[in-house]
Chains A and B, each alone.
Chain A
């Protein structure tokens, strides 16, 4: 369920706007994290980034010529909280873009905005809400993580639809691209939710102190 936008898809206004948002949010994240920085949390963040990077390399091929892979934005948000989650996903997306050309350089702002910011914040808010409503227990972790993974991917897909839809290269406008991307990612997001839930439920049983979103970070 990847949505790495390549170069050539976005118009200059969208490129400028998404880069602006990306730089502002990452600057805020760096500032907030550096205020109460803890080397142990940095190592959790690094391992989370590395795990998400590798998980994104595992494409589950679907006969018919497409595939999906785990995206990880909601997982990062639940494990690390929103600001470290944003930084964790930004590191993954930077390495993918700069080293492997997975996602365009002009689209880096948009890709971080979708997968690193929107996905992370939506995932975080949903998980926190479910935990607040149902209490901290294994079943609420499972439900929270499924919804968080699903909604994060779906909204990131919708945002991606808007960005592509605003491109003058795209002949039909966002009225077509938004539903196409939204519906597609809402379907693929179910699997993202299930994988997120398996990982979070497992960590919740073994090392629940690692789930920073439950500590209100």
Chain B
């Protein structure tokens, strides 16, 4: 079944994600492309001044960046699956 396979692929991608999202990014000093553009264009990013989440930029308080990134991936995917579950309950109910 494709969704079982897809779920396995998603799990594997979460595990390797810090290689791309954290380790390589730190190596070369990564910035979001839009942040770079914004800097060139003279705009200011006020994200840190008005933050509402403990998981800002895929980090988890108290965890090292790599582990935090994996946990963030699991949190994000779990919430998406929960939304999907609610939607399909709603679909069955209607």
- When distances are taken between beta carbons in the complex, the residues of chain A under 8 Å from B47 are 6-8, 101, 104
* Contact indicator per residue, chain B 39-52, by CB within 8 Å of chain A (1) or not (0): 01111111100111
Tell me if A37 and B91 are in contact (CB < 8 A).
yes
Known contacts A6-B45, A210-B2; is A58 also within 8 Å of B21 by CB? Answer: yes
In this complex, how many residues of chain B approach chain A with their Cβ under 8 Å: the count is 60
Tell me if B2 and A42 are in contact (CB < 8 A).
no
Interfacial residues of chain B within 64-94, with CB under 8 A of chain A in the complex: 69, 72-73, 75-77, 79-81, 83-85, 87-88, 90-92, 94
How distant is A173 from chain B, measured CB to nearest CB, in Å? 10
How distant is A201 from chain B, measured CB to nearest CB, in Å? 15
In this complex, how many residues of chain A approach chain B with their Cβ under 8 Å: the count is 66
Please tell me which stretch of A47-55, A122-130, A136-144 contacts chain B, meaning at least 4 of its Cβ atoms lie within 8 angstroms of it.
Answer: A47-55
Known contacts A54-B73, A61-B24, A66-B30; is A42 also within 8 Å of B88 by CB? Answer: yes
Residue A95, interface by CB 8 Å: yes
* Contact indicator per residue, chain A 34-45, by CB within 8 Å of chain B (1) or not (0): 100111001111
Residue A13, interface by CB 8 Å: no
How distant is B56 from chain A, measured CB to nearest CB, in Å? 5
Known contacts A43-B3, A58-B20, A100-B53; is A67 also within 8 Å of B88 by CB? Answer: no
In the complex, A171→B16 CA distance in Å?
A: 40
Known contacts A50-B10, A210-B2; is A99 also within 8 Å of B33 by CB? Answer: no
Interfacial residues of chain A within 158-196, with CB under 8 A of chain B in the complex: 160, 164, 167, 169-172, 176-177, 180-181, 184, 188
Tell me if B36 and A37 are in contact (CB < 8 A).
no
The 14 listed contacts between A and B (C-beta, < 8 Å) are A6-B34, A8-B44, A37-B90, A46-B85, A47-B3, A47-B10, A47-B84, A54-B10, A57-B58, A61-B20, A91-B83, A101-B47, A170-B43, A203-B2
9 A-B pairs with the lowest CB-CB distances in the bound complex, closest first: A46-B84, A8-B46, A37-B91, A42-B88, A61-B24, A58-B20, A39-B88, A54-B13, A57-B17
